[in-house]
């Protein structure tokens, strides 16, 4: 039941969608201005909600930042899981797409800023900055081991991860990153 003062009751789906939209807007705002220079007012404006509405959802800038980063890392891991689970596709193709979902999409203007704001504030983020990369590594190891049965799967996965990190920091574009990553994966996934 709704009253004229409060409007219709919100549904759990609408609340989740609104929260997701707010967190996406927050991450973009943090990426643009950096953590320290981002205000709750700026995030509220970007999310098209009132500042009190934002504080209703998130008690502080730190809580908001942590939730925004957690959402994006969990989304990235879910996409990597989905890509690697598609065993009808060749392993090298799945590995390149998994690395693209994990790192490649953060190459280029603004998207690079997302990775930088996350990397610059690990003390604010808690364990997610350790558990998400560890989960990514486990997924890569499992995919390689399942396909090749190699005992060397952990070493191959760690080498691929190191190569992707190096490429990410020197790639002028996502296309360049993917082109070079395909070469690395082809060499290592033999």
| Cα–Cα distances in angstroms (integers) from residue 79 to residues 39, 109, 185, in the given order | 30, 22, 19
How far from chain centre, in Å, is Cα 184?
Answer: 22
Residue 52 exposure: Cα atoms within 13 Å on the Cβ side: 0
How far from chain centre, in Å, is Cα 35?
Answer: 17
pLDDT tens over the chain, length 190 residues = 443 444 445 555 556 788 999 999 999 999 889 899 999 999 999 999 999 999 999 999 999 999 999 999 999 999 999 999 999 999 999 999 999 999 888 887 656 677 788 888 888 888 888 899 999 999 999 999 998 877 889 999 999 999 999 998 888 889 999 999 999 999 987 7
Sole residue written with tokens 């943090």: 30
Q: Are 64 and 49 in contact (CB under 8 A)?
A: no
């Amino acid at each position: 039941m709704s009253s004229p003062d409060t409007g219709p009751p919100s549904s759990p789906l609408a609340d989740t969608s609104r929260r997701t939209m707010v967190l996406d807007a927050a991450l973009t705002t943090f990426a643009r201005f950096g953590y320290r220079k981002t205000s709750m007012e700026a995030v509220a404006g970007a999310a098209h909600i009132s500042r009190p509405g934002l504080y209703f959802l998130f008690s502080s800038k730190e809580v908001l930042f942590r939730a925004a980063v957690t959402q994006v890392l969990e989304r990235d891991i879910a996409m990597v899981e989905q890509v690697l689970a598609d065993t009808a596709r060749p392993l090298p193709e799945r590995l390149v797409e998994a690395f693209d979902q994990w790192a490649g999409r953060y190459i280029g203007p603004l998207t690079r800023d997302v990775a930088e704001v996350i990397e610059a504030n690990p003390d604010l983020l808690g364990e997610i900055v350790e558990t998400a990369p560890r989960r990514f590594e486990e997924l890569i190891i499992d995919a390689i081991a399942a396909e090749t049965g190699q005992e060397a799967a952990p070493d191959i996965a760690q080498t691929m991860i190191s190569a992707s990190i190096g490429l990410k920091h020197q790639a002028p574009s996502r296309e360049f990153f993917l082109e070079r990553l395909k070469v690395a994966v082809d060499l290592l996934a033999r």
